Amino acid sequence: AANEISRFCEGVLDRVVHSSQITFSSIRGIARRLKRPLVDTLKNLFCTEANELGLRLGNASPDGTTDSAKDDSEKPKHYSDWTPVTDTAVANALDTDREGAGGRCIFVGYDDSPSINVEQLAMECYRTGKLPISSDGEAVDTLKGGWVGWHDEGGYVRALFRILCSAPLLGVDWGCSSLEHDTHGVTTIFCSPYQAAPSDLHVGFGLTLHNTTETNAIPGFYYRKRQKIEAFLAKVASTSRQGLCDAVFHAIESRLLFSIDSRRKDPALERDLKNLRTFSLIAAGCGGKLLSCVFR
């Protein structure tokens, strides 16, 4: 049964990767079934979305080699793809009455604060200097202690993307028009303020479809806005930290003025106003180059 599943998944990937019929995240989900490194699975398959956006398929070893360049005896025997560098800390959880699946571990903080969860404990490790750890296992003196962070599953960064990209890339200019027109006469419409993204936002399929001989192919959002996206990301990368803070402020300010003048509710505006200083701090802390890479 396992071999049949593997053959089926390989057949699906052979069919859909070149044509970009599904997104990279879906390709990665299918590749997990094959239980081998993603870089090996896609070795002879050109993935348009991964190539266009610079998505990494695996981690490089300290000597600079990837999993695909290693000998068979050194390659992982399980699924793997790119993973970020992480810090590790060890702590003993308190005994609780919550047992079984779904029960959360409870810890005592370094300041004897009771009942903190694992995310709060991790933040205390950075604040007190227990993390980060250098390669020799010792705390990094130059970065020791004083760190402040949030556990929000990347929510602040995604909010920054929405705040800074809505007007220049998504066509929502807060007062002139919520419609975006291009030279092909194709219109991207935000039908509701609750809509999260353009309906035709699929990078790989849009590029592949436009490069075919299909005369009636309608270019997708990314293909139509490609030059503008690249110009915008280049501008973000070259913007100073103060310039990023100013951009966050002016983007939220324009939405506030538009909301007052039009008496139109903006579901996220109140939350963005409360977190304005936090957004500015994160933008300045990341810097333009890192923020541009994250947005891409």
User: Which residue pairs from 5-10 have beta carbons closer than 8 angstroms and sit at least 24 positions apart in sequence?
Assistant: 5/33, 6/33, 6/34, 9/33, 9/34, 10/34
Highest mean pLDDT out of 75-84, 101-110, 221-230, 274-283: 274-283
User: How far apart are the C-alpha atoms of 277 and 107, rounded to whole Å?
Assistant: 30
Domain boundaries, the chain: 1-46, 81-147, 155-295
Q: Confidence band (pLDDT; 50, 70, 90) for 265?
A: confident
Query: Under DSSP, is residue 245 helix (H, G, I), strand (E, B) or coil?
Result: helix
> How is residue 274 written in tokens?
């409360």
- The arithmetic mean of pLDDT across residues 262-267, rounded, is 78
Residue 35, Ramachandran bin (φ over 0: left; ψ between -120 and 50: alpha; else beta): left
Give me the percent of the chain exceeding a pLDDT of 90. 24
| Amino acid at position 95, single letter | D
What is the Cα Rg of the chain in Å? 23
Count of beta carbons in the 10 Å neighbourhood of residue 41: 25
pLDDT, residue 183, reads 40
User: What is the rounded distance in angstroms from the CA atom of residue 129 to the CA atom of residue 141?
Assistant: 8
Max mean pLDDT range (57-61, 219-223, 229-233)? 229-233
Q: What is the DSSP letter of 107?
A: B
So what's the pLDDT on residue 129?
Answer: 83
Could you please report the per-residue DSSP string of 153-206?
TTHHHHHHHHHHHTTTTT---SSS-SEEE-TT--EEE--STT--S-TT--HHHH
**Beta partners for residue 180, in sequence order:** 188
Whole-number mean pLDDT of the chain?
A: 78
The model scores a pTM over 0.75: no
What DSSP state is assigned to residue 178? S
Give me the helix-helix angle, 276-295 and 226-238, nearest 10°. Answer: 120
Q: Which amino acid is at 70?
A: K
- Secondary structure (3-state) at 56: coil
Cβ atoms of 296 and 233 closer than 8 Å? yes
- Pairwise CA distance, residues 87 & 103, whole Å: 24
Q: Taking Cα atoms as reference points, which of 160, 152, 84 lies closest to residue 120?
A: 152
Inter-residue contact 203 to 52 (CB < 8 Å) = yes
Amino acid of residue 225: K
Residue range 116-157, pLDDT digits in tens? 888 888 888 888 888 877 665 555 555 677 888 888 888 999
Cβ-contact 56, 37 below 8 angstroms: no
Under 8 Å between Cβ of 281 and 150: no
Binned at pLDDT 50, 70 and 90, residue 289 comes out as very high
Query: According to the model, what pLDDT value does residue 12 have?
Result: 92
